[in-house]
Structure formats: C-alpha cells, structure tokens
Amino acid sequence: MNLDLLLDTFFEALIEGDRPRARSLIERTIEQGWTPEEVIVDLYWAAYERVEDLFRADKITILQHRIATRLLRVLEDQTAASLTIADSAESTPRRHVLALCGPSDADELGAQMAVDLLEANGFAMTFGGGGVPTDEILARVHQQKPDVLCMFASAPSDLPEIRQMIDRLREIDALPNLQIVVGGGVFNRAEGLAQEIGADLWANDPLELVDELIANPGRRATAEQRTVGRNRKKAA
C-alpha cells in the first residue's frame, strides 16, 4: 500500500472511530518494516494535520474531530512505548526541555508527538500540556531552569499569552541561556510569526523540531531581531 492510500485509509478509520481497523493498519505498517518514528511522523502527524485542516475548514463535524483526535492519541501512546530512548553520555548530559501547548485536546496531541520524539532522541522532557497559567509556567522556568522552553500553538488565540511570556522572560533576562522554541499549526500558517514574537527556534513538524534542537543548541534570537519583533507588534 503506497503512502497516500495508507493515509487515506487511516484517516477514514480515524474519523469513523474504527479502532480495530486503525490498529490493524498500524500493525501492518510495522510488519512491513516501518519504525515507530516513521509511523509517528509520516502517518500520525500527517493524519493529524489533515484532521485539523478539515476541521478548521468546517469539512468534518465536531464529533468526527473529537473521535479522530482521541483515537489518534491512544495510538500515539501505544506507538511511543516502542520508541528506543537514546542514551546520553555522562560527558554530555541531556538537555532539559519544558514543553507546553494550547488548551485543546488537539493541541496536546500534536505536542505529545513532538515530546515523544524529543525524548527518544535523548532530551529530558517535562510536558505540562495545556491550560497552564502564565505565572505558573514562569515560576517553573525560574525554579527548574530548563535549557529549552518549548511552546506549541494551533490557534491564533494562543498567541497573546505566548508573546507575553516571551516578552516577560526577555525583559527580566534572568535566564539568558534559556532557548525559546515554538511550533504548531498557527506558526506554520503565518510565515515570520515565530521570529516576530522573539522565538529562538521554530519548526513545522516534530521531526524538524528534533533536528533543529540537535543542530542548533546555542542559537538565540539577536537583539536586533527582538527589536524588529517588538516594533511589528506595536505597529499592529
């Protein structure tokens, strides 16, 4: 079965809530040699994006969206349990990532895929999910001092809080080595948005996020980029 046909068949099983059929498809792809990472990135993430795109376009119902999201979350949990966690040498301790997301179940699903892949690639993960007040996040950041604060957002309504949090962290500057990373649908749909709000790194999908964090551990937004972002915000 080619990838497009597999994705179409899997998507149908998701929106119908056909759990046996969905599980059977995953079992067959693994039998054909797919790794858990490939299942998550090439199938789950692709199906997740299709579900979200169609829901935003009012082409699937609320019930279909919720059925698909919950079934995909169950499958993600099961597949993530098969991921091989990379060992970290004592001389190179794991970077700690504090990850949060928007308040919906779909937000948490997308973020969870990234969190599972990051952990498999050697990052120490703390995942707070969605709906956490900004003050509590900031308190945790200052207490725990993670290397990376990663925030996922699929809806424009999440942006003011993320922007406020980044501004407060930059203004205080108590953690100059903190790397701020963003991802999710809202950043994919608006080119330049991540730079505008002052993020150090951004990615379009979970695998790209892993690659960016591995390849650019020291990347920070420059003072000039942050000034441009603040000026754009004032102009808006």
Q: How much of the chain exceeds pLDDT 90, in percent?
A: 57
The pLDDT of 57-73, averaged and rounded, is 97
Give the model confidence (pLDDT) of 12-43 as tens digits. 999 999 999 999 999 999 999 999 999 999 99
Confidence (pLDDT) at 68: 98
The mean pLDDT of the chain is 87
**pLDDT at residue 91, as a whole number:** 47
Report helix, strand or coil for 81: coil
Calculate mean pLDDT across residues 134-163. Answer: 88
236/231 Cα distance (integer angstroms): 9
From residue 3, alpha-carbon distances to 11, 29, 34, 173, 204 in Å are 12, 10, 12, 46, 20
H helix or E strand, kind and range, residue 203? strand 201-203
The pTM for the full model equals: 0.86
Domains of the chain: 3-80 (1.10.1240.10), 96-235 (3.40.50.280)
Per residue in 76-92, pLDDT (tens digit) is: 999 999 999 887 655 46
Distance, in Å, from the CA atom of 185 to the CA atom of 190, rounded to the nearest integer, reads 9
Question: Which has the higher per-residue pLDDT, 223 or 216?
Answer: 216
